Amino acid sequence: MRRKNQRGLTLVELIVAFSIMLILTTMAVPLARSRVRIDRERELRFVEREIRSAIDKYKDYADAGYLGQQKLDSDGYPDKLETLVEGVKLQGQVDKKIRFLRRIPKDPFTNSTDWGMRSTKDDPTSNSWGGQNVFDVYTKTTEKAPDGTNYSDW
């Protein structure tokens, strides 16, 4: 029997409260994980678009003749990803360089700046780089999207 001046919760009240908290927590964890995955996917799309547009801009400058004589196998694309960051001297300028990226962005899935690359001579579905030029980039993660596609195919 309880006295009127005693305060606190009974064991049954504690069990019910913890059960409710457990149910709410088990519902929140999958939602939080899916939110993290959605954010990573959005970041991956943004970063790939940024790198690909820098590669395309390099190609446009090379085709217009602003970057001088290009290597024979390069087809006007950069020979490595770091070239977009280091910059290239413009034709006819003494010491003016143009940079296409400020830095190589991190892959949100692997958390590194090591991207998979494809050249114009490589098969579009290849996971190995021929080394002639950088035509495209992809993530090196082996994870799959919720629809079953590989993130490396994006």
Q: State residue 104's pLDDT score.
A: 94
Rg of the chain in Å (alpha carbons): 26
Name the residue range of residue 75's domain: 47-141
Q: Name the more confident of 95 and 24.
A: 24
Q: How far apart are CA 141 and CA 41, in angstroms?
A: 12
Residue type, 129: W
Structural domain contains residue 117: yes
Q: State residue 1's pLDDT score.
A: 57
Residue with tokens 């003749």: 65
Q: DSSP state, 76?
A: T
Structural domain contains residue 20: no
Q: How far apart are CA 109 and CA 41, in angstroms?
A: 9
Number of domains in the chain: 1
Structural domain contains residue 12: no
Q: What is the pLDDT of residues 83-108, one digit of tens each?
A: 999 988 888 777 788 999 999 999 99
Q: How far apart are CA 16 and CA 13, in angstroms?
A: 5
